[in-house]
Structures are given as C-alpha cells and as structure tokens.
Amino acid sequence: MPPESTAGKRRAVGVALVLAALGAAVGALVTFLLRLADEIAPPWYFVVLGACAGIAAALIVSLASRPILQPVPAHGPTPSPTPTLASLADLEQRIASGTRRAAAFRTGLQPILRDLVDDRLMRAMGIDFDTAVAADPERIRRHVGPELWSCLQPIDAADRAPSMAELNAAVDRIGSL
C-alpha cells in the first residue's frame, strides 16, 4: 500500500475520532443543560446522539475531502495523438527516398508496411504475420495479394525499389485486408 493512502487513512480516522468526541462532548453538554432546566431525559441519550452527529460530520468531511477520480475510457486503447507536421514531413521523406533507393525502402518503409499488415491480420484473422508466413507462406501470399507481397519480401540494396504506383497499390491492399 502506498504511503500516501496509509497517511490519508490515518488522517481520516483521526478526524472521525475528533468529531465523534466533539459530538459526545456536545451531547454531554446538552444533557447537563437539560438537567439544569429540570428536563427529564436519560443522560446517555444525548451523549449517543452527539456521538452519532459527530460520526456523521466525520463522514461528510471524509467524503468531501476525497479527490475526484478521472473518468476511465469505457474500452479500447487511448487514441494516439494527432500526427505532427514534422512526423508527416518525415514520412513524406521516407516515401520519396524509399521509391528511389532499395536500401531506403528496406529501412524506412518496409518496417512500417509490415507493422500495418501485421496489425490488419491480427485484427481480421487473429494471426501474426511472421508466424503465418513461417507456417504457410503461400496462404498468406494469396491473402495479401501479389502487389503487397512483393513489397513485404526481403530486398537487397542492389534490387529495384518499388515505384510510387506499386507502393500505392500495396497501401490500398493493406486498407482492404
């Protein structure tokens, strides 16, 4: 248990005891004053009544001093923040260089495409892309289509980078998974 909650509970118990004692003292004072006025009432009645009033006051103080809890989303992850202009400019640069050089495609765009495909396959079929490829590559190749499959294959620096049209077709196919 965190120390803050222990200290907070001790403080609340202390406040409750002080208010209950104060209520009992008020009850005893009322009993004394009523006895002076020759009113007939059992003395314990007002002491107990005062103690109950003190406990009720302690509960009200305790409830009023609790921090207000922040609402928790009903379900699902917290949406990611809106992309910044810098991150969009970085992605634009990755796309431009990834369609010119195979090495830039392999390091800058292919991991993003693989992550997107992995996410879509997990949501649609409950499978991991790498695990599915290892188990049945032909089935996954048919499922993702030839234009996307070619963009997901290992590429060497000597290979040709995908064209913008091929990249657009691959992204369109990811959207339809």
What DSSP string describes 28-43? HHHHHHHHHTT----H
- Whether residues 54 and 122 share a domain: the answer is no
Tokens (6 digits) for 62: 């305790």
Domain residues for 136?
Answer: 85-176
**How many independent structural domains does the chain possess?**
2
The per-residue pLDDT string of the chain (177 residues; one tens digit each, 9 = 90 and over) reads: 444 456 666 776 777 677 777 777 777 777 676 666 666 666 666 667 677 777 777 777 766 666 655 555 555 555 666 667 677 788 788 888 888 888 888 888 888 888 888 888 888 888 888 888 888 889 888 888 888 998 888 888 778 888 888 888 888 888 888
Which pLDDT value is given to residue 1?
44
**103, 20: one domain:** no
80 in a structural domain = no
CA dist list (Å): 113 to 78, 103, 152: 22, 15, 7
**Hey, what are 57's tokens?**
């006051």
Residues 21 and 102 in one domain: no
Distance CA 120, CA 174 (A): 7
Integer Cα distance of 126 and 2 in angstroms: 39
Overall pTM > 0.85: no
Residue 73 in any domain: the answer is: no
pLDDT for the residue numbered 91:
79
